[in-house]
Amino acid sequence: MLGCGPRMENVHLIVGLGNPGSEYTKTRHNVGFLVVARLAERCHAGWSYEKKFEARLAKVQQESGGSVFLCQPQTYMNSSGDAVGAVVGFYQVPLARLLVIVDDADLPLGELRLRPSGSSGGHHGLESIEQRLGTREYARLRVGIGRQPGSRQITNYVLGRFDSTETVLADKVINAACDQAETWRNAGIQKAMSQFNGVVNGPETESKEK
């Protein structure tokens, strides 16, 4: 668990990317929103809309001191950098303590990939953040959502919701992404990568193993 505590020695920022509005709720493209929402639930942290950032924030106090801010930019995906840059600047968050969680259609549903830096890979949210921060040197956790078989057009797919055959695995992946984000905060990125990067077992795999 991220935990809670009395004092603030440092600040970490965990951003989940997505689009605001009921029409985008629980869509594949909003999996970043879903992960940080689950983190907030685990910590019993309440959300508030901060107009100066154009973002929703939830603050979690740490038992070991310091705070973690959970963030859902409300700028729409392609302008995510506006909100992230504003929060990073206001709270003076070191880039080593910034984690951005995004969907990735090039990874199959069920796969997690955390990296300390890297290119946007064509993800418009990451492109916006890179442009605003002026660097690629921040951690990003890619959550695989897969692609529609036999189709190069992904817009309708990523803006669709997980279907009935995907929901159980998607929920497990969201929980695993939360565990990985918590490990990143508490034990560092190398431990988080080695422990969680890879494929999250789905219900069929688990039943066969048993």
CA distance 108 to 3: 31
Q: Hunting for tokens 């969907």 — which residue is that?
A: 103
**Taking the chain, what is the end-to-end CA distance rounded to the nearest angstrom?**
28
3-state secondary structure of 52: coil
Two structure tokens written together for 197: 């990067």
4 burial type by CB count under 10 A (0-12 exposed, 13-18 middle, 19+ buried): middle
The one-letter amino acid at 86: A
Which residues are the active-site residues?
Answer: 29
Beta bridge partners of 58: 47, 70
